[in-house]
Structure 1
């Protein structure tokens, strides 16, 4: 009887419990694929008893990371670069609720293929210790996080420990070898003196401003008083904030007195450097405004000889406005060209101002490409041609450039293939393709976003591939518009640089090299970075934000570009830049409109060293999106900055002179 009661109670209890729901089983459970390779995902539906449910239709959909990879509905993942590709798996069964589950595919660097050591000295003195900083990369140029194993051909002369600390022991020669799997690097060092008898240093300037670069003349002598040449000391400084590189270039961020120390073997020497504040901050005046409320605002461009601006639209605007800016305080729309384009993302005129080109990026009929207009009446442009050949995927950016030898060409980006198309524009209303070039990588990870051309060199912002420099007429590699040739590339670890963005909004976020501008021996590159998900629970645009860094790339040795300085706003991102004189102008998305002093040599953190000159928050209640800044870019002429904000239209801003210092009042 008690058994019967127990059985009945058990049955009733089981009937009261809800049935276990069907589940998705995805294989592999923790998917990892080498960048630029493929991976097959599979899935099945299991019932409450762990049995396969027949007849389920399963699809795989990308849920982010669209520039870094792709996934086919069948589950084939195509990895284009390192990063994380979120995938949503959807299972549908007749008469049952749809199941969804998310899996994250980690796309990692391939096997180690190369090791480089930058800035390591080749001549040392006895007792000197230097940390070797190797960079390990895959065959595709992706940075790896490996611990290099070191060995020395002559441990009596020099050794390297597991942390890369190089110690010079005695006079002689040693070959140091670093190894990661099959990748190796060698570095030869010569220890030239048993010890240093005397060491002194002299700064290139005893006083300067924050942000200035100061170098030091080092004098080393051995115990007999003979000069020791070709050796590099270790550097340090105190107190305050700043940076000192391996070559002894010191940049201080705060005003005050710094003690810079050079150490060579067992000897040290100090020098005093005094820094004054950079003092470049200036007031700004908004001279004129043209609010836009119907659509978002895209690119702005100025006619080269007339007081006319051209302004693009987005969010389905399908038009480019012509604006009379004769009266800067009252810009007036005089005309527009309406085209099936969704967004007019970029605009540029020919150097003579007789024609104009603007982009199509989202045409409903897929006839994207570019539109060419005659500026015979510059206030009332008239379309004279379309060019869509091979460009159905859309065009994000264009650049018009004229060379004496080759004439005028349009350099444009192909959204569909990630290639640069070079268009012969010598007959303006009859353009034709001159060349097509793209980086050697899978289509899934190739994306070209912007182009700058100067002195016969094209500087391409190649998203996952970083900065790519082509010879299109300079002669350094024998290139021309019809035969572009690779000069060099600067590729960096976007995933590591923007770890905070993934932490804030999850994997699959937008990040890549977006724009570039050559100025003197530098190329300024800006990354476009947005989180994968908005702020939870937020109700409007003011809660969202962009991220991103502006890097300063030293191209004095154009075959070996290197990053030497950077800027990140305290809040917001970076987008398009413009350089005039020694001033860099920036559209910084949520960070508004910014200008910077870029005079002299650049090293370290530009914001920390007080190089910012002007900041205008371009949020406006009269806009397509109210009370939120989304500054796109800027064009500068005659001391006025024409600033386009995606959310609220055109601003005309003047950087005013610095106020005169107040004189002390004289008391009678």
Structure 2
């Protein structure tokens, strides 16, 4: 054995050794759908090509790399390319390269208005958003031109001024994309304008919808005119905003003047905003500390047992009949390295948990009998079409809507006979396979809300009827994509931007709350060393028009992110990773920056001196049952808590 080792060492000394690998071109940027051919030189210390060298190509992220070095852009973002060089008798050497993927050219242009009605002298501003054929937001310069400059004058950046009565079409252009606004200028001259309400007192975060009434010199109402809204803060720390439809919100305490102008007439309204004052404490009722990496939590409908999964081969049944003294009473073990999700049927008779990284590569889901809640028993599994792994699974009305790691598709499994689960439906996006990944699914009212990572939020009809969909034949309803790289530039600047995407969705009333997951590329230092720093924001999507979802508000912790969500009443509960557990007030209409408005109600840093990773908070989510909040921390275990009743006074 020693002789053989010496021979290998001798051969390596005699053979030319690889000193470096040079990739050409050294930098590259491609668009979604485009390709580029990379080449590599394998050189020794003198810069001479190493004979008989071979280069193997690998890649990951938002595109693909084939064995010949051809890189294809899949989604907006970055592709991490690795060239691995080998040669007989030489140690292998790798070289990495990051290729940026940008959106394809603008294919459409969405404007802030399709038509406006103005009085002579009125001014309004039209804004627009260019998008590619794949619905990626672009930042092309938009130019505007009027078909009748004597009726409506426009600046190149979209500021319109009504000059005389008549009609005009204002056309906006961004690259080859076009869109237009119909403009009507009326002859009637506004003499007076009034705003309702004239004076109002609110809390920060309360939305006030202002309306205007316009009359001519004879006191006759002029209907349908588009006013120009503006807002001024009367205190140094005031921050407020108003939309083109008159919706105003104060994000900081103070007094504000809201103004509306129509033609040469204008009027003001006053808003006095007090602090929201919703702060409350969190009482820790009970604990289940762990010395392993924990996972998700689910409360059985009977309220007496909760399930706690692991980044491992089992999940635990915890008796919470006495919440102050929870006890692990049973567990379910299976061939897996990650049991990410667990959920029961609505009646609590059966449950489903997901599997990833099984040693036999048969992952999928397992179904268990939960009739004896704290003593679950596996009765069947389903692996046939999802053996590549299932990250998330949602149980609804006899079906399991799950994520297929291997294909990036949603699969629908019928468990109406829980002993014989079978696939009945499937749906996936079509942009590209490379980078396609569905992370999580929420199903409510016959609609499925898919957190589709690079593809954003996807809404499907799976029985609602709006598009004729069923669980067997899901039908596309709408999509919302947004610029993840732009949103998380701060993370990129500080830690390097790792994987990021749309992670979780939760439908509540006319809103969908979506959470992004954003990993840091560099390891944490100092206090957070060893913890997997993760970031992201909660985005509030208005779906009053389900065909046109739009982001209207957001919440982004400064010391963490937003992982899994739970909504109960007017409160939203979340795991904020290193930011601990959070509770946010979501009462009323939502608009703007919820954190700045003071809607953060409570937080709990779920760290202790022991645990799998001492003094390192990493809260994944929350489940609310019977007034108790179950926060699950992968480092420190399960925290059973409740909100304190008395609100904290605001000085």
The TM-score bracket by the shorter chain reads over 0.9
User: Which residue matches 2:150?
Assistant: 156
Question: Could you say what secondary structure the match of 1:412 adopts?
Answer: strand
Answering whether residue 520 of structure 2 is matched by residue 531 of structure 1, we say yes
Kept after mapping to 2: 8 A contact 1:413/1:449: yes
Name which of 602, 606, 611 aligns with 1:614. Answer: 602
5 Å-filtered alignment, 1:390-429, equals 390-402=385-397, 408-429=398-419
User: Which residue matches 1:498?
Assistant: 488
User: Which residue matches 1:8?
Assistant: none
Kept after mapping to 1: 8 A contact 2:278/2:648: no
Determine the C-alpha separation between the residues in 2 that align with 1:77 and 1:325.
53
Name which of 464, 477, 480 aligns with 1:474. Answer: 464
User: Which residue matches 1:3?
Assistant: none
User: Which residue matches 2:182?
Assistant: 188
Kept after mapping to 2: 8 A contact 1:522/1:555: yes
For structure 1, which segment, 194-203 or 298-307, has the greater mean C-alpha deviation from structure 2 after superposition?
194-203
**1:292 Cα deviation from its structure 2 partner:** 0.8
Kept after mapping to 2: 8 A contact 1:170/1:194: no
Answering whether residue 129 of structure 2 is matched by residue 135 of structure 1, we say yes
Question: Could you say what secondary structure the match of 2:645 adopts?
Answer: coil
Determine the C-alpha separation between the residues in 2 that align with 1:195 and 1:545.
60
User: Which residue matches 1:307?
Assistant: 304
Q: Cα deviation per residue 1:292-325 (whole Å; 9 max; x = unaligned)?
A: 11x21111111112500111001xx200101111
Answering whether residue 162 of structure 2 is matched by residue 168 of structure 1, we say yes
For structure 1, which segment, 233-242 or 552-561, has the greater mean C-alpha deviation from structure 2 after superposition?
233-242
Change in Cα spacing, 1:204 to 1:420, as seen in structure 2 (3 Å) is farther
Name which of 274, 284, 287 aligns with 1:276. Answer: 274
Question: Could you say what secondary structure the match of 1:486 adopts?
Answer: strand
Kept after mapping to 1: 8 A contact 2:580/2:617: yes
Determine the C-alpha separation between the residues in 2 that align with 1:545 and 1:301.
24
Q: Cα deviation per residue 1:78-125 (whole Å; 9 max; x = unaligned)?
A: 322011112232323445564433322111111211111024651122
User: Which residue matches 1:567?
Assistant: 555
Determine the C-alpha separation between the residues in 2 that align with 1:197 and 1:634.
56
Name which of 357, 361, 377 aligns with 1:362. Answer: 357
| Aligned-pair Cα RMSD in Å | 2.3
Answering whether residue 294 of structure 2 is matched by residue 297 of structure 1, we say yes
Question: Could you say what secondary structure the match of 2:434 adopts?
Answer: helix
Determine the C-alpha separation between the residues in 1 that align with 2:104 and 2:388.
30
Question: Could you say what secondary structure the match of 1:523 adopts?
Answer: strand
Kept after mapping to 2: 8 A contact 1:424/1:431: yes
User: Which residue matches 1:513?
Assistant: 502
Change in Cα spacing, 1:340 to 1:97, as seen in structure 2 (3 Å) is closer
5 Å-filtered alignment, 1:654-665, equals 654-658=642-646
Answering whether residue 64 of structure 2 is matched by residue 75 of structure 1, we say no
User: Which residue matches 1:331?
Assistant: 326
Question: Could you say what secondary structure the match of 1:541 adopts?
Answer: coil
Determine the C-alpha separation between the residues in 2 that align with 1:641 and 1:629.
17
**1:659 Cα deviation from its structure 2 partner:** 5.1
**1:597 Cα deviation from its structure 2 partner:** 1.3
Q: Cα deviation per residue 1:459-487 (whole Å; 9 max; x = unaligned)?
A: 11111111111111111111111111111
Q: Cα deviation per residue 1:556-586 (whole Å; 9 max; x = unaligned)?
A: 1111111111000121110011011111111
Change in Cα spacing, 1:358 to 1:21, as seen in structure 2 (3 Å) is closer
Name which of 52, 55, 58 aligns with 2:55. Answer: 58
Q: Cα deviation per residue 1:278-297 (whole Å; 9 max; x = unaligned)?
A: 1111121000000011x211
**1:436 Cα deviation from its structure 2 partner:** 0.7
Answering whether residue 575 of structure 2 is matched by residue 587 of structure 1, we say yes
Q: Which residues of structure 2 form unaligned runs of 5+? A: 1-15
User: Which residue matches 1:433?
Assistant: 423
Question: Could you say what secondary structure the match of 2:40 adopts?
Answer: strand
Question: Could you say what secondary structure the match of 2:534 adopts?
Answer: coil
Determine the C-alpha separation between the residues in 2 that align with 1:305 and 1:486.
35
Answering whether residue 33 of structure 2 is matched by residue 36 of structure 1, we say yes
Determine the C-alpha separation between the residues in 1 that align with 2:400 and 2:384.
14
Determine the C-alpha separation between the residues in 2 that align with 1:256 and 1:630.
36
**1:37 Cα deviation from its structure 2 partner:** 3.9
Change in Cα spacing, 1:623 to 1:111, as seen in structure 2 (3 Å) is same
User: Which residue matches 2:565?
Assistant: 577
Kept after mapping to 1: 8 A contact 2:495/2:522: yes
Determine the C-alpha separation between the residues in 1 that align with 2:136 and 2:586.
30
For structure 1, which segment, 275-284 or 226-235, has the greater mean C-alpha deviation from structure 2 after superposition?
226-235
Determine the C-alpha separation between the residues in 2 that align with 1:20 and 1:624.
43
For structure 1, which segment, 477-486 or 52-61, has the greater mean C-alpha deviation from structure 2 after superposition?
52-61
5 Å-filtered alignment, 1:347-386, equals 347-386=342-381
**1:171 Cα deviation from its structure 2 partner:** 1.4
Change in Cα spacing, 1:50 to 1:172, as seen in structure 2 (3 Å) is farther
Answering whether residue 543 of structure 2 is matched by residue 555 of structure 1, we say yes
Change in Cα spacing, 1:45 to 1:285, as seen in structure 2 (3 Å) is same
User: Which residue matches 1:10?
Assistant: none
User: Which residue matches 2:5?
Assistant: none
Q: Cα deviation per residue 1:146-198 (whole Å; 9 max; x = unaligned)?
A: 11232221111113322222222221111111223322112111112475332
Determine the C-alpha separation between the residues in 2 that align with 1:610 and 1:268.
32
Determine the C-alpha separation between the residues in 2 that align with 1:244 and 1:149.
24
Determine the C-alpha separation between the residues in 2 that align with 1:393 and 1:660.
49
Determine the C-alpha separation between the residues in 2 that align with 1:257 and 1:99.
64
User: Which residue matches 1:101?
Assistant: 95
Name which of 232, 244, 247 aligns with 1:246. Answer: 244
User: Which residue matches 1:665?
Assistant: none
Kept after mapping to 1: 8 A contact 2:450/2:459: yes
**1:226 Cα deviation from its structure 2 partner:** 3.6
For structure 1, which segment, 221-230 or 103-112, has the greater mean C-alpha deviation from structure 2 after superposition?
221-230
For structure 1, which segment, 581-590 or 196-205, has the greater mean C-alpha deviation from structure 2 after superposition?
196-205
Q: Cα deviation per residue 1:536-573 (whole Å; 9 max; x = unaligned)?
A: 6888335x522101011011111111111100012111
Question: Could you say what secondary structure the match of 2:646 adopts?
Answer: coil
Q: Which residues of structure 1 form unaligned runs of 5+? A: 1-18, 403-407, 663-668
For structure 1, which segment, 528-537 or 430-439, has the greater mean C-alpha deviation from structure 2 after superposition?
528-537
What is the number of residues matched between the two proteins? 631
User: Which residue matches 1:465?
Assistant: 455
Change in Cα spacing, 1:483 to 1:166, as seen in structure 2 (3 Å) is same
Kept after mapping to 2: 8 A contact 1:119/1:246: no
Kept after mapping to 2: 8 A contact 1:137/1:143: yes
Change in Cα spacing, 1:199 to 1:77, as seen in structure 2 (3 Å) is same
Kept after mapping to 1: 8 A contact 2:22/2:95: no
**1:231 Cα deviation from its structure 2 partner:** 1.8
Change in Cα spacing, 1:222 to 1:24, as seen in structure 2 (3 Å) is farther
